[in-house]
Structure formats: structure tokens, C-alpha cells
Structure 1
Amino acid sequence: MTATFASPDTLLNELLECTLQLQKRLLEDAEPEEWNDLLEHRQSVIERLDELLGAGIALSEEQKIRYLQPAAEADRNILSMMTRKKMKLGADMANLQKSKTVHDQYGGYGSSPSAYGAFFDKRK
């Protein structure tokens, strides 16, 4: 369906459904590739809506209440969920880097028990 023939209600409903689906996928801990597909689809719907609004079509209060308010609320939830996931990923990456640094610094001697029953510090 092209942007010139899509009704505002159809596009608004599609925007709401896509936003709710994205929220659901985030709650289910879906892979980021799935989020990206939904985000791209959602962006295309927003662009088509923007074309309609640019052509002079105005949204009614009923449309705003029925479609835009729930989509905006879900969008706020999505943003907070993505922010939390981003922070967790950053912390995981920092921990991985620390582990790598320790492993590189000690040359792997700390990971297995020593035959001598002692740990030898082999730092340079």
C-alpha cells in the first residue's frame, strides 16, 4: 500500500501494532536483529504518516487518543528497556575486558592450579 492511498487510521494502527510488537519482543529478550527489523518497519510507517501530515491531513482527537497516546507510552517503555539493556551490555563488555587484561597480564597462570601449589607472579 503506497503512502498516497493509505488512510491515516490504517497507518496509525500499523504504527501502534509495530510499536507494541517491538515492546513485546524486548520483554521476551529477542535478538537485537529482530528489534532492528521492527524499528526499520516502524520508521517507514512514521515516514508515510509524515507525508500524509505534510499533505495537509490533520489527525482527529479520537485518532490521537486511540493510536498515538498508547504508541507514545509504549515508546517510553521501549526507550527505558533499551537503555537498561545498553547499560547491561556495557557492564558485560567492561567485565570481559577486565578478564582479558588479567589473563594477558598473568599469562594464564592464574587459571589453572600450579604443580607447585603456589601462584607465581609472572607480570612484566
Structure 2
Amino acid sequence: MAIYMDEIVKQMLQLSCKLEHTVLNSDSEPEEWVLLLDERQYLMKQLDEGILAGEVLSDHQKMLLAQIHGIDQRLQPIMLERKQGVEKKLREIQRSKTAVDAYHEAGPSAYGAFFDSKK
């Protein structure tokens, strides 16, 4: 079972490195992040089950888990910043949509012109 735990930890590290590479790529989409995080979460669940079944982590496995933790600590602020940027853009879009809707309520426009009923 120790070999199985080794494999889980190594896969978690590989996924964490891939996540780091993806997040640091400014063109990446958060949906990609979610897929990698879901895969990693599944491995974490398996690791937890192994520990609950009585498996003991070796020093090497603990070192790899510390590397994974370090990656997480570096990525969290970056991911939070990108999330806040997306939320800001959504708020701006909503404000623009609200403004456009307010003008459309005034009725149809003639030949591309509109009549501003606000005063």
C-alpha cells in the first residue's frame, strides 16, 4: 500500500506543477484551473482514505506534500487577484447593461437617433 501512497503523492505534485504553470499563463481560463483542482481534490481524498486506513507517510512523501503546499501558497494570491478582476468586469458589464436598458425603455428610436427622456 506504501507504493500506492507514493504514486498518489507524486500525481498530486505533478498536478500542482501543471496548475502552477496554467495559472501563471495569463491566457489561461479559470475553467482549466477548476479541472486540475478537481483532479487534485480526488487524489487528496484517496490520500486521506489511506491515512485513515492506517498508512503512514514517509519523510519523502511529507517533503513532496510540503512542495505542494508551497505551490498552493504562491498560487492563492494570484488566483484571488484574477477572480477579483473577473468580478469587476462583470459589475461593469451589468452597469452598462442597466444604462442601455434605461434608454431602451424610452421607446424606439428613429434613424439611429434616440430621444433622451431623462432630465
TM-score range, shorter chain: 0.7 to 0.9
RMSD: 2.7
Tell me the residue number matched to 1:112.
none
Opposite residue 86 of structure 1, the aligned amino acid is K
Note the C-alpha offset of 1:107.
3.4
Aligned residue pairs total 114
SS at the partner of 2:90?
A: helix
**Structure that is richer in helix per residue:** 2
SS at the partner of 2:14?
A: helix
Give a deviation string over 1:40-70, Cα, whole Å, max 9, x none. Answer: 21111111111111111111233212x1111
5 Å-filtered alignment, 1:100-119, equals 100-107=97-104
Opposite residue 95 of structure 2, the aligned amino acid is K
Give a deviation string over 1:18-61, Cα, whole Å, max 9, x none. Answer: 01111111111322332222112111111111111111111123
Tell me the residue number matched to 1:35.
33
Contact 1:106 1:121 survives alignment (8 Å): yes
Runs of 5+ consecutive residues of structure 1 not aligned to the other structure = 110-114
Structure 1 distance, partners of 2:105, 2:87, is 25
Query: Normalising by structure 1, what TM-score?
Result: 0.76
Structure 2 distance, partners of 1:27, 1:62, is 27
Runs of 5+ consecutive residues of structure 2 not aligned to the other structure = 107-111
5 Å-filtered alignment, 1:40-79, equals 40-65=38-63, 67-79=64-76
SS at the partner of 1:64?
A: helix
Percentage of matched positions with identical amino acids: 33
